[in-house]
Amino acid sequence: MALPQCLMREIQGKQAHDPAFMEKGISKTRCEYVDGPVIVGAGPSGLAAAACLKQKGVPSVVLERSGCIASLWQLKTYDRLRLHLPKQFCELPFMDFPTDFPTYPTKQQFIKYLEDYAKNFDIRPRFNESVAHAEYDCTLRLWRLKSVGAKGEETEYVCRWLVAATGENAEPVMPTMEGIGDFGGCIKHTSLYKSGEEFRLKNVLVVGCGNSGMEVCLDLCNHKAKPSIVVRDTVHVLPREMLGKSTFGLSMWLLKWLPIRLVDRFLLIVSWLMLGDTARFGLDRPRLGPLQLKNLSGKTPVLDVGTLAKIKSGDIKVFPGIKRLKRHTVEFVDGQIEKFDAIILATGYRSNVPSWLKEEEMFSRKDGLPRRAFPNGWKGECGLYSVGFTKRGILGAAMDAKRIAEDIERCWKVEANRNTSLLPYSLS
């Protein structure tokens, strides 16, 4: 939709004095008014938001910095990855997984589901558009976003509503380690890890004991590598299934009837009976139960898919934190020194919202997450929303997407019924 001439002139006047739009000159910046929300990010969260809005009759524009939907899943995950939760807890709104998919779909199956989802709801993201700057203009009472295309072309989007859907896992976390430049061997983040085949017969140290770190260790074992894992902190390891049901599903059912501390106690008792005392193998449990810890810190328990058996058998060694690196050598905080050919950093991801969104009320500059905890972090001021920042996976993103669509629909209907002469600028 074209911008009204009076609004275009005002924006061009602002561009002339705005550092965010002056670097390459006004003439190279195309301006587009969006008659609906702009959604930044075409991962599962952005797709869910776009679909929920479409169901309400509200159009949207989805901007995606990569060349595909769900770029984290397509470009930055290892080959053997499966959903850690049963498929019914990972569905986006209004569309179930195919009935012939297994309980825990593979990476390829999940990507196929997302592609079918986008096709089903006719969601067509604008790919290779990286949002460099987004800011609310108090004079215009509109959001202004600057995106940069693959060839450096610039576009300014102007809209009433902005949905941040870049999520918690936008950028890899790269830890600082003394001597990292001296190691000499391969050091890569799990975002670049595909398979253990390239590490066959090599000694590999995996840094990080979350679900990804544990599963990468298992993958390395299956490809005849010799993995070790760094466990710097306490961790809850739970069986993926209990009593014939998924641990997550069983937990959700029990929480309907019991307080969280009793459900935690039940989970820990059953885990001890099934897995034994994990502390014997260097995996000390936190003092808080797994569900309480998840609620307070967002730290997800590890759902074991076979890694613990490899640790028990000695196929995977457990080490404490790293003190320093030397030439193909790692010195640990307890004084142990071991040689390794490669290091895999399973150190997680972080939000990149502070790098492009110029707003400090809703999102924290420290971690790029909403300041208000779930379930209240989805809505900010002046038409700003967030989806995919709940630390509750796809289920949490789906809940937020529905709330956002309902809220925007209310505003949409009110504004649609107004006489255009009452608007700050005529959109005719």
Residue with token string 């967030």:
386
Specify the pLDDT at position 18: 56
The β-bridge relationship of strands 342-345 and 186-189 is: parallel
Token representation of residue 367: 């971690």
| Bridge partners for 332 per DSSP | 322
Extract the residue ranges of the chain whose pLDDT is less than 70: 1-28, 416-428
DSSP 3-state of 11: helix
pLDDT tens for 353-406 read 999 999 989 999 999 999 998 889 999 999 999 999 998 899 999 999 999 999
Q: Which long-range contacts (CB under 8 A, 24 or more apart) does 126-130 make?
A: 126/61, 126/62, 126/63, 126/64, 127/42, 127/64, 127/66, 127/67, 127/68, 128/64, 128/65, 128/66, 128/67, 129/63, 129/64, 129/65, 129/155, 130/65
Q: Give the whole-angstrom CA distance, residue 121 versus residue 353.
A: 26
Do residues 72 and 66 make contact, with C-beta atoms less than 8 angstroms apart? no
Give the E-state strand segments of 116-193 in sequence order: 130-137, 142-148, 154-159, 162-164, 171-172, 186-189
Specify the pLDDT at position 414: 79
DSSP 3-state of 154: strand
The β-bridge relationship of strands 302-304 and 203-207 is: unpaired
Residue with token string 């070790």:
228
- CATH architecture of the domain formed by 174-348: 3-Layer(bba) Sandwich (3.50)
Q: Give the whole-angstrom CA distance, residue 128 versus residue 125.
A: 9
Token representation of residue 393: 């996976």
Task: Note the residue count of the chain.
Answer: 428
Handedness of CA 212, 214, 217, 219 (dihedral sign): negative
Specify the pLDDT at position 297: 85
- Identical fold at 5-170+351-422 and 174-348? yes
- What class is the 5-170+351-422 domain? alpha beta
Q: Which phi and psi angles does 30 have, rounded to 5°?
A: -80, 145
Among residues 384, 386, 419, the alpha carbon closest in space to that of 401 is found at 386
Q: Give the whole-angstrom CA distance, residue 23 versus residue 21.
A: 6
Q: Which phi and psi angles does 62 have, rounded to 5°?
A: -105, 125
Among residues 189, 233, 39, 195, the alpha carbon closest in space to that of 118 is found at 39
How big, in percent rounded to 5, are the helix, strand and coil portions of the chain?
Answer: 35, 20, 45
Token representation of residue 56: 């309400």
Per domain, the residue ranges of the chain are: 5-170+351-422, 174-348
Specify the pLDDT at position 295: 87
